[in-house]
Structure 1
Amino acid sequence: MMMDTREIMEVLPHRYPLLLADRILEIELGKRIVGLKNVSANEPYFQGHFPGFPLMPGVYILEAMAQVGGILMIKSLGLEIGKYAIVFAGIDDARFKKPVYPGDQLLLELEVISLKKALSKMKGKATVDGQIVAEAILYAAARELKDLKR
């Protein structure tokens, strides 16, 4: 099952400038997902990170992983589209191995360790040209959008 940006926006509540998944290449419900983020020189964070030496901030790489993992959670758990958001619940063992530059294509692969609405755990890996740029264990929870409002 592949998804383009339009289909991703039907599942995730994120929008520009914080929608960080451009395409889903593979989904095995309840098991794994592979997504793609094209890193453009026009990303707003490059203005300040760093002028003259643009690097994608590690937190954005983790957020891109989390968004792809969120799609897997929503689809695998059969959550009602538009009713739920997937929120971070924790990060373990985050490691950044290589920098990510404008023009890179970030491949985001997540494998389920445990999958539950209340708390899911996934092993994430981000690569560029086959080389690992970041890895982490991500924890996330499904929350109804109405419960996230103040």
Structure 2
Amino acid sequence: MEEENISITNFLKQRYPMLLVDKVVDYNDKSTKTIKYFTNSDPFMLGHFKDFPMYPAVLLVELLAQSISFSIYKKLGTLDNIWFLSINRCHYYGYFVPGDVAKVTVNIQSIDETGIIQCSGFIKNQHDTKIVECKFNLIRKKIH
């Protein structure tokens, strides 16, 4: 299954330059695989270290969050009232520079009766080297 960027905007609320997912390459009700391409013209690369542009690490967490949002939308049919709650563990093992490709895999571990959505994910580069891995929670707030 492949969703092009144009259709991703039907599911995610973010827009350029904050829409970080370039392509969804696979998904099911528990996991999603996405791709992000890094270029010299990326606005975040332009301002992050003049002599050695690299993608900001905090935006890699956002890339994971957007990827899991797609999975949650496909599972629940909505992203309304879903909020980022916490990062339980996040490890960085490297960085991305222009020309690199991020291969993102995210998983929904559980959704409990209180609305807590436990997730995990990792990002590898085009050489299958793990660059970041993270466990985090979202919450689905009930509106009365």
The aligned amino acid for 2:6 is R
> 1:105: which partner in 2?
101
1:1-150 pair list within 5 angstroms: 1-29=1-29, 31-79=30-78, 84=80, 86-115=82-111, 118-128=115-125, 129-142=127-140
Asked if the contact 2:40–2:46 (Cα under 8 Å) also holds between the matched residues in 1, the reply is: no
1:78 to partner: Cα distance? 2.0
Query: CA separation of 1:86/1:59 partners in 2, compared to 1, >3 Å: closer, same or farther?
Result: farther
Aligned Cα root-mean-square deviation (Å) = 2.0
Is the 1:92–1:138 Cα contact (8 Å) retained in structure 2? yes
Separation (CA, whole Å) in 1 of partners of 2:22 and 2:81: 18
Query: Contact conserved, 1:13 with 1:85, CA < 8 A, in 2?
Result: no
Post-superposition Cα deviations, 1:11-65, rounded to whole Å, max 9, x if no partner, equal 0010011000011111111x21101111121111223211010111111111001
For this pair of structures, how many residues does the alignment match? 141
1:90 and 1:126, CA in 2 relative to 1: closer, same or farther beyond 3 A? same
Residues 124, 95 of structure 1: CA spacing in aligned structure 2 closer, same or farther, 3 A cutoff? Answer: same
Q: CA deviation at 1:87?
A: 3.0
Which consecutive unaligned segments of at least 5 residues does structure 2 have?
none
In structure 1, distance between residues paired with 2:103 and 2:141: 26
Distance 1:62 1:99, change over 3 A: same
Q: Aligned equivalents of 2:74 and 2:111: distance in 1?
A: 11
What is the alpha-carbon distance in structure 2 between the residues aligned to residue 104 and residue 57 of structure 1? 14
The answer for unaligned runs of 5 or more in structure 1 is: none
Using the TM superposition, give the Cα deviation of residue 142 of structure 1 relative to its aligned residue in structure 2, in angstroms.
Answer: 4.3
**Aligned mates of 1:44, 1:104 — CA distance in 2:** 15
Whole-angstrom distance in 1 between the partners of 2:66 and 2:111: 15
TM norm structure 1: 0.86
**Cα distance in 1 between the residues matched to 2:37 and 2:82:** 22
Assess if the C-alpha contact under 8 Å between 1:73 and 1:115 holds in 2. no
**How much does 1:85 deviate?**
6.3
**Partners of 1:85 and 1:49 in 2: CA distance:** 32
Deviations 1:51-98 (A, max 9, x none): 01011111111100100100100110122xxx7264321112100001
